[in-house]
Structure 1
Amino acid sequence: MTNIGRLLIRNIGAALLAGAFALGMAATAGAQNTKSNMEGLKLSNDQPIQIESDKLEIREQENLALFTGNVKVVQGTTTLQAGKMTVYYRGEGTSVASGDADIDRILVDDKVFLSSGTQQATADSGSFDMASQTFVLKGDKVVLSEGQNVFVGCQLTVLMASGEATLESCGGRVQIQLDPKSQKKN
């Protein structure tokens, strides 16, 4: 495995898992926003990550790695797909190629698709800020689904430390479709 692969395995797992857990939001309807606390949300870097793209460009002077063309990132049952993924890292003297870079943030663009088990999300773009542990999906239409349960807004923000998630409508209304058959029976 290359040094860039080891670096990303060590540092990007949190971003992938953030999106996967974001899909587990509980259904609570609201006119402008939907907020939920996602129980059991934990960051984990214990599974390997496989990254594929048509091209990888490392820009050491700009402290970034740019994956373009059919980007696919897989960790366990979580898959992230996008047209482009940019990984920004901190610090002078660090190198992506040597595996010692400290990831600052990750941006994904161009038809973002995220799936984990039976849960899926689509958006135009996404970002993960490592310092604030915040994951955001944005777009004209951000769609979260699990089976027949569907949440639609324009921005999903997940605070990883607390597990709190907010789905915003951006001027319109958040839309939720719930399938009564999906509710747990007591």
Structure 2
Amino acid sequence: MFATLSAPVRAASLLVLAAGFALSAGVAGAQTESKMTGMQLSNDQPIQIQSDKLEIHDQERQAVFTGNVKVVQGTTTLQAGKMVVYYTSGGGSVASGDADIEKIDVFNKVYLKSQTQEATADTGTFNMVNQTLQLKGDKVVLSEGENVFVGCQLNVAMNTGEARLDACGGRVMIQLDPKSRKKTN
């Protein structure tokens, strides 16, 4: 099944990785905190959602996309095996394109790409009310070119870009390519 939702859908905010997995170098402990510059909500571009199946449960205020879910907005792509969109009771529905989205959960091999950045995880939650993104898994991997960050949980405040990568009992792994540093004159 193919469903296209127009620009007024507040679910357009779902794709938030406009730039920057720019976690600072030098920290390889149990967690890494930094700013992820350029992470912003994007309400101004249309969003396209494709999946093998779509079920809309208006009484539960849910839209469930299953099978090869692909969401594209601008230069950002999200892929997962399943996506559940929870919307508020304030009126509207996903089918009519005017729903207020509370939260979006994604499952089964989550892949998120925006411009030069990529992230993979087992699950993810986009909380639109709190403007937070959380990716979880045995191995959450963030990359930009040759720079790679590995942990088990990534938390991002979408309104500020503040981010934290946790290792969940292990250690955060960071691999940085010295050629990726900005040149100064």
**What TM-score, normalized to structure 2?**
0.90
Structure 2 residue aligned with 1:51: 49
1:60-107 deviations in Å (ceiling 9; x for gaps): 111100000000011111110000000001116543323332211000
Structure 1 residue aligned with 2:12: 13
* Structure whose residues are more often helix by fraction: 1
Q: 1:131 to 1:62 in 2, by over 3 A?
A: same
Unmatched runs of 5 consecutive residues or more in structure 1: none
Amino acid of the structure 2 residue aligned with 1:29: V
Q: 1:66 to 1:3 in 2, by over 3 A?
A: closer
C-alpha deviation, 1:13, in angstroms: 2.3
Aligned residues: 183
Equivalent of 1:81 in 74, 79, 85: 79
C-alpha deviation, 1:36, in angstroms: 0.5
C-alpha deviation, 1:11, in angstroms: 1.3
Check whether the contact 1:4–1:99 (CA below 8 A) recurs between aligned residues. Answer: no
Amino acid of the structure 2 residue aligned with 1:12: A
Query: Is 1:162 matched with 2:160?
Result: yes
RMSD of the TM alignment (CA)?
A: 2.1
Unmatched runs of 5 consecutive residues or more in structure 2: none
Q: 1:31 to 1:49 in 2, by over 3 A?
A: same
**What TM-score, normalized to structure 1?**
0.90
Check whether the contact 2:20–2:37 (CA below 8 A) recurs between aligned residues. Answer: no
Cα distance between partner residues in 2 of 1:144 and 1:138 = 12
Which moved further from structure 2: 119-128 or 27-36? 27-36
1:99-145 deviations in Å (ceiling 9; x for gaps): 33221100000000011122111000000111110000000000001
Structure 1 residue aligned with 2:25: 27
Taking only the aligned residue pairs, the percentage that are identical comes to: 62
